[in-house]
């Protein structure tokens, strides 16, 4: 198991255990994470409505995992550098996820379940990968790679 794979797995477990152990059924919560450097990780989990996640990572080898369950939630992830990874997951309705990655060999994975959700992924640089999955009706996906 590579270090990056281990880090992704560890963050996924952290987010899942946070959501399952003590979910906050609140609304209008904001989580803001800013990280600079190498090998940083951010994991955010929210349940409710009108919640916001904002993550900015500048460096390389950084990982973000963000999970939201509810409605009218927003996730925004911005990453500059190389070999960064962003994974967003949303369940519910009228949620929006946005991922912007600048640099090379970055990966964005987005998943949404529900109705009226939207995903936007922008990747600028070489060797970037994007995977988007939506289940439900009235959903929109936009991916721009340059």
pLDDT, tens digit only, all 146 positions of the chain: 454 554 454 444 444 444 443 444 567 888 999 999 999 999 999 999 999 999 999 999 999 999 999 999 999 999 999 999 999 999 999 999 999 999 999 999 999 999 999 999 999 999 999 999 999 999 999 999 99
Please, what is the Cα angle at 127 between 125 and 129, to 5 degrees? 100
- Cα(59)–Cα(112) distance, rounded to whole angstroms? 27
Range of the domain at 74: 3-145
d(CA 47, CA 25): 5
Counting the structural domains of the chain, the total is 1
Query: How is residue 119 written in tokens?
Result: 């995903």
Distance of alpha carbon 146 from alpha carbon 122, whole angstroms: 8
What is d(CA 29, CA 133) in angstroms, rounded to the nearest whole number? 25
> Residue 48: what pLDDT?
93
SS3 21: helix
pTM of the model: 0.82
Query: Is the alpha carbon torsion for 93, 96, 136, 116 positive or negative?
Result: positive
């Amino acid at each position: 198991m590579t270090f990056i794979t281990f880090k992704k797995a560890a963050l996924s477990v952290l987010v899942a255990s946070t959501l399952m152990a003590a979910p906050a059924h609140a609304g209008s919560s904001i989580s803001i994470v800013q990280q600079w450097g190498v090998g940083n990780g951010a994991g955010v989990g929210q349940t409710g409505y009108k919640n916001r996640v904002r993550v900015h990572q500048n460096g390389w080898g950084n990982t973000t995992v963000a999970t939201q369950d509810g409605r009218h939630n927003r996730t925004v992830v911005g990453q500059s550098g190389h070999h960064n990874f962003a994974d967003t997951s949303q369940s519910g309705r009228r949620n929006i996820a946005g991922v912007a990655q600048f640099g090379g060999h970055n990966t964005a994975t987005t998943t949404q379940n529900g109705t009226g959700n939207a995903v936007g992924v922008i990747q600028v640089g070489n060797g970037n990968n994007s995977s988007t999955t939506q289940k439900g009706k009235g959903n929109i996906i936009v991916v721009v790679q340059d």
